[in-house]
A and B are shown apart, each in its own frame.
Chain A
Amino acid sequence: MSALGKTAARLPKISFWRTIVALIFAAGAYALYARFALGFQASTHLTDPQPWGLWVGLGTLCGVGLSAGGFAIAASVYLLGFERYRPILRTSVLISFLGYSTVCVGMLYELGLPWRIWHPIVMWNRHSVLFEVSWCVMLYTTVLALEFSPALVEKIPWAGLREFYLRWHHSILIALVLVGTLLSSMHQSFLGGLYLITKGRLDPLWYTPYLTTLFYLSAIPAGLAVTIMAIFLCVRSLNVRVNMNILSDVSRVIAPLLAIYGILRAVDLVNRGATQYLWMWREETGLFWLEIALLVVAPLVLLNLEKVRNTPQLLYWTCALIVMGFMTNRLNVSITALQASSGIYYTPKWTEFAASLATITAAVVAFRFAVIYLDILPKNPPQQQRAMVLTAPAHA
């Protein structure tokens, strides 16, 4: 092999996805510069009537909600004894951990004075929903880091240290999972609680005293859907071995959760006498139906089909619908359903998209490396290497 060929072999190959990732990171780098060197006005379309935009709607509300899979699976395995989900436990905890890390990084973009992000630790306002959310997210991210830590620690070459840590970890694990479940339940609902104060301004199709309950109930199926999607992608492109029946099992849990959510939504609308808004010709109503179609109706119809539940590819796309429906819901509550009362029309600046996309992409890349280099999912024996080993003696 020539010297040039050797250098080329060491450089990463230019593939379609690598190009995309590189472009996203380049755009993200500019967004980073715009946000921290030029400020909000240069990097966002945020204004006084629209003080929270894409970074809160997508970064925080969707980010936290879609990371709910970790607590749901951990609670099922450790507290409820559903051992059949154990093979996907680490994956779901990893997704949640990376999800929450993304949210924390997003917070730095979002806060006007990000270097004061620690203030809520010492400056308390117990009457603030956001205070409770910030504490729960802080504590739960720590819990997730601890829950996930064995995957890293078991790679430590010193057996004594490794065993010591893993024994300690084993002794606190149940407590961790229990605390994690409570913290998750609290802040998943409190994220909806943030909008209780917007009474009279948030559109009646969304404003309800049960925003908390609805946020909680929708986060669990959405988080599970993300877990299914991630595992499907791992199997397809990262050479891991997972019994696909588990995915179908998880989907069997998603369907009733979505049904309960849909029924609650309907009962609440009727109870509040808000049904008149369901048939009005306005943007909000259109977005409401889009959300219901993607998050409730389409997935329920699809998951009812035996073929969809048992075909990983179809299950993947059904989960994609759920995730899109979930995101529509969170963006509706945080942005579109508030626009009529604020009197302005907000569309995020491209740097807002770039910053969010780059942070999410970083998490996806980190997830990929973790699955490749750590023991997250059982791997298939590497085909090529085995072939080389087998042929080696023949040469000798």
Chain B
Amino acid sequence: MANTAAILVDITKCIGCRSCEQACKQLHGFPMTSEPKLSPTALTVVEDHSEEHSDRFVRRMCMHCQDPACASACLVGALKKTPAGPVTYDGSKCIGCRYCLVACPFSVPRYEWTKLVPFVKKCDLCAARIAKSQPPACVEACPVQASIYGNRDAILEEAQRRILNDPKYVKHIYGSEEAGGTSVFFISDVPFEKLGFAAPPNQPLPLLTASALGDGPTVILVGGAMLSGLYWITQRRALVAQAEAREKSLKERN
């Protein structure tokens, strides 16, 4: 996946103006009131950490994992990692089981709990805009380039360059290893755990279930063979017992 979309959020540059939030809400036709947390009508939010850490704001959104847990979890394949980069959601397939909400290591997907016909809501990296070679609405709206958009390799290189050239940065690109790598990256001068970032395992999470699922065919083959074998023995025993009983009764008659 050399040519896939990615976003870099430089936390040191964000001024907390919420232009990204507004652009996202406008694009989706959501009510324009700002919300404190991700919600079905706020697919990206700017969290205010300015009190604990001077003027630091953290933008939350779907991380668009390289090998997404949600997509592996979805039993009908409504969630998919597209070759262009975005993890998209096809509402027409969804049955509303909400296993994606359980599976996501970043707690991103939201559910429309208040609706009678509820769907899952999450950022799709503006897949439709990307297809038209436009940047995601949130990145386009950022007045200070705290969010930048580009090819994943180039974006990672830029992040690397910034944290190597400036000692103020924490020497880690959040998203480069988390959950096996994502398409949204963060760099920061405040340790990530202090800004409420999740610490998922550094491996693609679908691997965790794949090994169990891989046992399925073995269970069927070995288990099936074993059970058939046991049944054959049971059957054979019954036949032998029958034959012996017949012989015995014949002898007694003679």
- Determine if B93 is an interface residue (Cβ-Cβ < 8 Å): yes
Q: Which residues of B contact A198 (CB under 8 A)?
A: 102-103
Q: Which residues of A contact B69 (CB under 8 A)?
A: 197
Q: In whole angstroms, what is the CA distance A151 to B146 when docked? A: 70
Q: Is there an interface contact between B216 and A81, defined as CB atoms closer than 8 Å? A: no
Q: Which residues of A contact B93 (CB under 8 A)?
A: 119, 123
Q: In whole angstroms, what is the CA distance A48 to B117 when docked? A: 16
Interface size of B as a range: 35 or more
Q: In whole angstroms, what is the CA distance A134 to B110 when docked? A: 23
- Determine if B251 is an interface residue (Cβ-Cβ < 8 Å): no
Q: In whole angstroms, what is the CA distance A190 to B78 when docked? A: 21
Q: Is there an interface contact between B97 and A127, defined as CB atoms closer than 8 Å? A: no
Chain B minimum-CB-distance residue to A128: B75
Q: Is there an interface contact between B75 and A134, defined as CB atoms closer than 8 Å? A: yes
Report the count of interface residues on A (CB-CB < 8 A): 55
Q: Is there an interface contact between A174 and B231, defined as CB atoms closer than 8 Å? A: yes
Q: Is there an interface contact between A125 and B224, defined as CB atoms closer than 8 Å? A: no
Residue in B99, B110, B117, B206 whose CB lies within 8 Å of A113:
B117
- Determine if B208 is an interface residue (Cβ-Cβ < 8 Å): yes
Q: Is there an interface contact between B211 and A209, defined as CB atoms closer than 8 Å? A: yes
Q: Is there an interface contact between B94 and A113, defined as CB atoms closer than 8 Å? A: yes
Q: Is there an interface contact between B95 and A127, defined as CB atoms closer than 8 Å? A: no
Q: Which residues of A contact B145 (CB under 8 A)?
A: none
Q: In whole angstroms, what is the CA distance A182 to B219 when docked? A: 8
Q: Is there an interface contact between A112 and B99, defined as CB atoms closer than 8 Å? A: no
Q: Which residues of A contact B118 (CB under 8 A)?
A: 39-40, 112-113
Q: Which residues of B contact A132 (CB under 8 A)?
A: 213, 216
Residue in A125, A185, A199 whose CB lies within 8 Å of B201:
A199
- Determine if A278 is an interface residue (Cβ-Cβ < 8 Å): no
Nearest Cβ distance between residue A83 and chain B, in whole angstroms?
9
Chain B minimum-CB-distance residue to A117: B95
Chain B minimum-CB-distance residue to A343: B107
Q: In whole angstroms, what is the CA distance A183 to B227 when docked? A: 13
- Mark contacts of A28-46 with chain B using CB atoms, 8 A cut-off: 1 yes-contact digit, 0 otherwise: 0000000001111100001
Supply 6 A–B pairs (Cβ within 8 Å), ascending by A: A110-B97, A112-B119, A125-B75, A128-B73, A194-B102, A212-B212
**Supplied contacts A38-B116, A52-B99, 14 more A-B pairs, CB within 8 Å:** A47-B113, A49-B107, A51-B102, A112-B97, A113-B94, A116-B94, A116-B95, A124-B77, A125-B77, A129-B73, A129-B209, A130-B75, A196-B208, A199-B208
Chain A interfacial positions (CB closer than 8 Å to B):
37-41, 46-49, 51-52, 75, 78-81, 110-114, 116-117, 119-120, 123-132, 134, 174, 178, 181-182, 185-186, 189-190, 193-194, 196-201, 209, 212, 342
Please give me the 10 A-B residue pairs with the lowest Cβ-Cβ distance, nearest first: A112-B96, A81-B234, A51-B101, A131-B75, A123-B76, A125-B77, A51-B98, A130-B75, A113-B96, A193-B212
